[in-house]
Amino acid sequence: MQEDNFSKDSRVHKEANSKIAASNQTRMKCIDAFRGITIASMLFIENPGNYEHVSSSFVHAPWDGLTWADYVFPFFIFIAGTVIPNSVRRRMDKGQSKLKILIHILHRAAVLFLMGLFLNGFPAFNFSAIRIPGVLQRIAVVYLVAGILVLWTNAFIQGAISIFILVIYYLMIKYISVPGYGPGILAKDGNLVQYVDMLILKGHLYTSTWDPEGLISTIPAISTILFGVIGGQVLLSERLKSINKIGYLIISGVISMVLGTMAGKYIPINKDLWSSSYVLYTCGAALIILGVCYLILDVIGYSTVFKPFLILGSNPIFIYIGFHLVSKTLWVLQVPDKAAGVNLPLNLYLCNKLFTPWAGNINDSYYFSIAYTLLWVLIVLIKDSLLYRGNV
């Protein structure tokens, strides 16, 4: 007997709903937890109570080398890549065309870029000297490229493009001659990255002569996000068992870190240059952390200790914007300290009054940073609670 139209439409509707439900379930706790760990690191590192009491491990390396602070930005970009395959799949399961998904990617990239410009200009908005590059701007560019590649290529091609970019970038840095300096300059002055930024964006950089998120150094950051894309595809794979996913992530992470160490002999691990060795090493670390988080949270199912990170990881843009607005307003306010007879920045004043008396001059800044990070967990909880009540 031929199926009537009503039954057929009902069956198709149920199948579509089941696909969407299955796609929505692919959101994994490991990604939010890893992102939350990265956000917590940012809040802790970038908001010390007293800069004079901070260990060198918690500040960026002066040039070559790697500290905890130097992992934060590449981890953000890597995580941005891990969510792209799932996002694209969910939209495709809802019946959206590739063109419609591309428009969504373009819109999201534009919003991120404009938010970055807003934060750079706030509060003075001196457009004649506004810094054009930035963290959100770099994420916007690499997200756009990665999104397009996910739509029209597979994991093998994405991996090949990632390695190709790292090789080409290495050759550019080593062999393109900079006027007045020559080729292969890897010092802060005279390298290709600085030359191109000064040539195109002079007067709109982080400092008068340098920008850590410049034009040329954004090219290898595309490889960083593609590493994340491939990690995300491993997690989404229906052909791989959980134990295989963990193995692939951790083993490939170890291999990448080894390759990064080896590459460091030819081009130093350097965040400001976003060197090829830096990409390999930090992405290797990211793959290992992602694999461990997946094992603990999504396979074993243990999440108790990770709850603060899950809270932070589910609100990245809100926290990032709020964190920068606070840094540019509250922390620059001058508060009179009668005992010292001077005016102090608010964060230093609070650290001296609330933490130094019992923590001492060595650990006071760390306890301040921990308290500030926990404060953001509370802020997000309150924000989510208010939004939930508003939707009930």
50-64, 75-89, 180-194, 197-211: segment of lowest average pLDDT: 50-64
Q: In the chain, what percentage of residues exceed pLDDT 70?
A: 92
Quick: pLDDT tens for 56-95.
888 999 999 999 999 999 999 999 999 999 999 999 999 9
Number of neighbours of residue 53 by Cβ within 10 angstroms: 19
Please report which helix (H) or strand (E) contains residue 359, including its range: helix 356-391
SS3 label, residue 190: coil
Can you say how many angstroms the Cα of residue 102 is from the centroid of all Cα atoms in its chain?
Answer: 21
pTM: 0.90
CA-based nearest residue to 35, from 348, 232, 290? 290
Distance CA 137, CA 221 (A): 12
Quick: pLDDT tens for 14-39.
444 444 344 444 568 999 999 999 99
